[in-house]
A and B are shown apart, each in its own frame.
Chain A
Amino acid sequence: DQQVKQNSPSLSVQEGRISILNCDYTNSMFDYFLWYKKYPAEGPTFLISISSIKDKNEDGRFTVFLNKSAKHLSLHIVPSQPGDSAVYFCAASPRDAGNMLTFGGGTRLMVKP
Chain B
Amino acid sequence: KAGVTQTPRYLIKTRGQQVTLSCSPISGHRSVSWYQQTPGQGLQFLFEYFSETQRNKGNFPGRFSGRQFSNSRSEMNVSTLELGDSALYLCASRGRENSPLHFGNGTRLTVT
Which A positions have Cβ atoms within 8 angstroms of B? 32, 34, 36, 41-46, 49, 51, 89, 91, 97-106
Contact = CB atoms under 8 A, between A and B. Distances in A.
Contacts of B31: 98-99
Q: Which 8 A-B pairs have the closest CB atoms?
A: A43-B103, A99-B33, A103-B43, A46-B100, A99-B48, A43-B105, A100-B56, A44-B103
Given A100-B56, A101-B45, A104-B42, A43 B106 contact: yes
A23 to B, nearest CB: 13
Nearest to A36: B103
Nearest to B34: A99
Contacts of B63: none
Interface string B80-107: 0000000000101010001011111110
B25 to A, nearest CB: 11
Contacts of B102: 46
A99 B103 contact: no
A97 B56 contact: yes
B45 A100 contact: yes
